[in-house]
């Protein structure tokens, strides 16, 4: 399934570049978007403020990064094909202007007539019709008729139109090849380097803003404390006892300290002290007295 998706994306990109033809900016824009959609690059977006998809794309539109990406992938074959396409277009338009007839209509009528003769009479009838048309054209040429000149220019315009279509196909193929090369060796590595440059040092680390009040830096925040049986049991015992000792035990990380801190906060007067594993009684009582006074 993944190979099919990659195949579809590859040929989809080639089709878009083929249709773009001589629009190199459009091809560059598509390649930049494809580079941003790369999983290794996409996971780094929005990790830092200002490192967004739109911000990176805006940087890639600047002259500096555009030149840096495209200089790696020369487009000489595409440029030459575009020049030949322009020449073919100029020749076709010049031939179309020289005739007083609509070359599209004339050539369409000739093609429809030939198709009708072929369907109704077969190849032999088509051959006879071609010979008859050639004889008529030779007569018009011999007489120097204006109709011959217009008919000839219509046929020339049609031929040059076919030549333009062939050259447009060549431009599309060159554009697809250049777009594939640009995405692989140009915009792909340039976008990846740009994103890491915008992220700064250590782009793979988790960034927590200074003004973020909760989350991983506040594991004992009130919003994360839930009501459970141990808490209700301790509050019930504290309600019934005027003085005494209550032992709270449990495995490490079970929430003993959090439970005691919540009870101290609710008390009218309370203090919580972490007793070290080994200590001198005199020093411990002294530090306890200091905390009580504070």
pLDDT at 293: 78
In tens, the pLDDT along 179-215 reads 888 888 888 888 888 888 888 766 566 555 454 455 5
Q: Of the candidates 190, 189, 186, which has an alpha carbon nearest to the alpha carbon of residue 74?
A: 186
Whether residue 73 contacts residue 185, with contact meaning beta carbons closer than 8 Å, is answered with yes
Distance of CA 148 to the CA centre of its chain: 56
For residue 21 the two structure tokens come to 């033809």
pLDDT at 212: 47
What is each CA distance from 115 to 121, 122, 126, 134, 247, in whole angstroms? Answer: 10, 10, 8, 17, 103
Q: Which residues of the chain have pLDDT under 50?
A: 209, 211-212
Q: Tell me how far apart the alpha carbons of residues 35 and 100 are, in angstroms, rounded to a whole number.
A: 51
25 — phi, psi (to 5°)? Answer: -65, -40
Q: Where does residue 31 rank: exposed (0-12), middle (13-18), buried (19+ CB within 10 A)?
A: buried
In tens, the pLDDT along 134-173 reads 666 666 556 666 666 677 777 788 888 888 889 999 998 9
């Amino acid at each position: 399934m993944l190979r099919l998706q990659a195949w579809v994306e590859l040929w989809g990109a080639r089709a878009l570049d083929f249709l773009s033809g001589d629009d190199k900016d459009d091809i560059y824009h598509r390649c930049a978007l494809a580079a941003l959609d790369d999983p290794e690059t996409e996971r780094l977006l929005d990790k830092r403020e200002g490192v967004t998809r739109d911000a990176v794309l805006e940087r890639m539109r600047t002259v500096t990064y555009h030149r840096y990406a495209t200089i790696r992938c020369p487009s000489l074959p595409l440029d030459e094909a575009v020049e030949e396409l322009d020449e073919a277009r100029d020749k076709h338009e010049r031939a179309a202007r020289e005739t007083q007839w609509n070359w599209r209509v004339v050539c369409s009528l000739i093609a429809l007539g030939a198709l009708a003769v072929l369907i109704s009479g077969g190849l032999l009838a088509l051959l006879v019709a071609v010979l008859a048309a050639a004889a008529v054209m030779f007569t018009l040429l011999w007489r120097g008729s204006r109709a011959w000149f217009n008919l000839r220019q219509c046929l020339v315009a049609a031929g040059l139109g076919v030549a333009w279509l062939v050259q447009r196909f060549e431009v599309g193929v060159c554009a697809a090849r250049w777009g594939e090369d640009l995405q692989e060796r140009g915009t792909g590595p340039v976008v990846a380097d740009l994103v890491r440059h915008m992220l700064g040092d250590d782009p793979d680390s988790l960034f927590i803003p200074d003004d973020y009040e909760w989350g991983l830096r506040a594991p004992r925040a009130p919003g994360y404390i839930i009501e459970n049986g141990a808490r209700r049991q301790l509050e019930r015992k504290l309600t019934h006892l005027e003085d005494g000792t209550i032992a709270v035990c449990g495995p490490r990380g079970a929430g003993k300290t959090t439970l005691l801190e919540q009870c101290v906060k609710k008390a009218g007067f309370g203090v919580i002290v972490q007793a070290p594993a080994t200590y001198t009684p005199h020093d411990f009582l002294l530090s306890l007295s200091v905390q009580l006074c504070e």
